[in-house]
Chains A and B, each alone.
Chain A
Amino acid sequence: MARRTAVILLTFMTFVAAGGLARADDPQFTLTIKDHRFAPAELQIPAGVKVKLMIKNEDSTPEEFESRELHREKVVPPGQQILVIVGPLDAGTYPFFGDFHKDTAQGKLIAK
């Protein structure tokens, strides 16, 4: 029964996800992880709208994009890119970091 419940749940969520995903015309920005650093380390994005962040990991090791302020936490496998949707955000500064290399992988979004 547990498995059936899980399957139903997953199917349901897949449908909801397909319906609720951000639109194609949302502004998109790219962040690149190289040598365990984010480039650019400071990214300006528009406030008040949903924004898509494409995060590319050019390192050979996995990273986890994380931000307490943005409520986001997502693994970026090596050599891959992932999509993180943020906002609509109030104007302000939102720090983020790479959880697996916190000493170097630091950055911030500046919503204006």
Chain B
Amino acid sequence: MIAVAVIVFREVLEASLIVSIVLAASKGTPRRGLWVAGGIALGVLGACIVAGFAAEIAQAVAGMGQELFNAAILFAAVGMLGWHNVWMGRHGKEMAIEASALGREVAAGTRPLYALASVVGVAVLREGSESVLFLYGVAAAGGGGLVNMLGGGAIGILGGVVAGAALYLGLLRIPSRHLFAVTSWMILLLAAGLASQGAFFLNQADVLPSLGNEIWDTSWLLTEDSVPGRVLHVLVGYVARPAGIQLVFWAGTVVILLTLMRWFSTAPTRTVVRAAAFVALALAGLSLAHVARADFTIHPPIVEYREFEVESNGSYTFDPNPANKHNETGTLELGYGVLPWWGTELEFAWSRTASDPPRRLDEINWENTFQLADQGAWWLDPGIFAEIGKSARVGNANHFEIGPTLQKEWGNTVHVLNLFLEHGFGPNNDTKGLDLSYAWRSLWTWRTELQPGFEIFGDAGQIDRIGGIRDQELRAGPVVYGRISLGPVLGELKYGVGYLLGLTHATEKGALKWNLEWEWVF
């Protein structure tokens, strides 16, 4: 009975979490209970029908009916979630501004609740039909099967509902003025996760290529079969071994929905600005092709609270020695200022070397910046940077990096110092102890759009056996940074470009580096 309950719990959990997000997102809207209950009821009915016609669906469309059916309802749900978020971006503020409670209710009453209700219906239908099939199988097995089915089914459903209720109550504790922002994000990530699942089924149906069967494997850390893994799977689309096409659909959904939300939001936007945003996105996409180890990045201690960023860094080396000639590195990063003192970033780093020409994903890094004091409160702005990286290449080690980051503003100039210690770990780690690296940047804020300065990057090697400076890696050179505002809606574009000269014989002669960042407050 417990085995039955566990499987049913897993299926119900997914639907239940989605229902609780929808309930929290629609808090304060009249008749939402009716809509959500209707969605659940239709979902249960639909689940029974789909389970009943499982054989017919399986044989449809040359045997690919199941996949196409799943993909179709998943993408329909993505569309509904997107439509809801776009609508809220347009009308959410009006609702908040309405002074009277009655006015707010009237404004809220026009919300597209059918969109959320149909998402609930789809979630219940998808997970429910599997539960129905499974429970039917248990009951049909005979020998106490019926008792097993009823008892296990009831415990499983109850467990799933309790987990959903816990999430709902947790969300309700968020103050009302932040609740909308939080649920908008949750719905955005939910939509991205569902789109990635839809891509999974289209790939299974042989409609879409996989673009890499397994871009990374984090099943050592968290499997999707565990309860936390399952929860993350629903909430953010976590997959332990994602195929490339799933990542493309996940990221594509996030970018497209955010862009639509911005476009249709009530603030005015000029066509030129939209075009600029598109160019930025295209460039970010392009740099995917170039990509890098984040060696040439300075991490300031300042967290940009509530700011979302898409960033790409790249570098290209020049050296007479063929082994170091034309090595490329690149990154794509997604970051968010979660708290006033905590910013977090997910970074995908690629490289290509002359000796190993194919461009490949090297590692996935989780970067965190902790701002230790309000900016300007102390003589020096202090922060801590910490990063954990999982190698994506066979035979490479994982790593952990931590250290202080300090910033000082002086008139029109800004100076940053990073001092980091790195430690390798994992089955492929062949280094011992800690590696020390340092970086310095000074910029002169001539104009917001044009800030010239210089950067220094050094790697001293293992701290217990630091050799002569000649054997260390050391680079320095001129850089230019700048910020271009795209208006109140589209945020800000940041760029940086520089040329670093190799100062020791252990470093390549020169490296061109660049970065492009799109930021907006959400």
Residues of A within 8 A of B (CB): 2, 5-6, 9-10, 13-14, 16-18, 20-22, 50, 60-64, 68-69, 71-78, 80, 82-85, 89-90, 99-100, 103
What's the least CB distance linking B106 to chain A, in Å?
23
What's the least CB distance linking B271 to chain A, in Å?
26
Asked whether any CB of chain A lies closer than 8 Å to the CB of B484, the reply is no
Given the complex of chains A and B, what is the CA–CA distance between A73 and B315 in angstroms?
A: 41
Q: Contacts of B7 on A, CB cut-off 8 Å?
A: 99-100
What's the least CB distance linking B228 to chain A, in Å?
16
Residues of B within 8 A of A (CB): 3, 7, 54-55, 58-59, 61-64, 66-68, 71-73, 75-76, 79-80, 114-115, 118, 130, 133-134, 136-138, 140-141, 200, 202-208, 210, 213-214, 219, 223-224, 240-241, 243
Q: Contacts of A62 on B, CB cut-off 8 Å?
A: 54, 133-134, 136-137
Are B200 and A6 in touch, CB under 8 angstroms?
no
Are A13 and B63 in touch, CB under 8 angstroms?
no
20 extra interface residue pairs, beta carbon distance < 8 Å, beyond A69-B241, A71-B200: A2-B115, A5-B79, A9-B72, A13-B72, A13-B202, A14-B68, A17-B62, A17-B205, A17-B206, A18-B61, A62-B136, A64-B130, A68-B219, A71-B241, A71-B243, A75-B54, A75-B58, A80-B55, A85-B204, A103-B3
Are B76 and A75 in touch, CB under 8 angstroms?
no
Which of B68, B130, B219 touches A75 (beta carbons < 8 Å)? B130
Q: Contacts of A21 on B, CB cut-off 8 Å?
A: 62, 64, 205-206
What's the least CB distance linking B275 to chain A, in Å?
27
The main secondary structure of chain A at its interface with chain B is: mixed
Q: Contacts of A10 on B, CB cut-off 8 Å?
A: 68, 72
Are B72 and A83 in touch, CB under 8 angstroms?
no
22 pairs of residues in contact across A and B, judged by CB atoms under 8 Å: A2-B76, A2-B79, A2-B114, A13-B71, A13-B207, A14-B68, A20-B207, A62-B133, A64-B130, A68-B219, A69-B214, A71-B213, A71-B243, A73-B204, A75-B66, A75-B133, A76-B58, A77-B54, A77-B55, A80-B55, A89-B213, A99-B134
If A2-B114, A89-B213 touch, does A84 touch B207 (CB 8 Å cutoff)? no
Q: Contacts of B138 on A, CB cut-off 8 Å?
A: 61
What's the least CB distance linking A19 to chain B, in Å?
8
What's the least CB distance linking A17 to chain B, in Å?
5
What's the least CB distance linking A8 to chain B, in Å?
10
Are A17 and B61 in touch, CB under 8 angstroms?
yes
Q: Contacts of A14 on B, CB cut-off 8 Å?
A: 61, 68
Given the complex of chains A and B, what is the CA–CA distance between A84 and B7 in angstroms?
A: 23
What's the least CB distance linking B91 to chain A, in Å?
18
Residue of B nearest to A101 (CB): B137
What's the least CB distance linking A26 to chain B, in Å?
10
Q: Contacts of A77 on B, CB cut-off 8 Å?
A: 54-55, 58, 133
Q: Contacts of A78 on B, CB cut-off 8 Å?
A: 137
Q: Contacts of B55 on A, CB cut-off 8 Å?
A: 77, 80
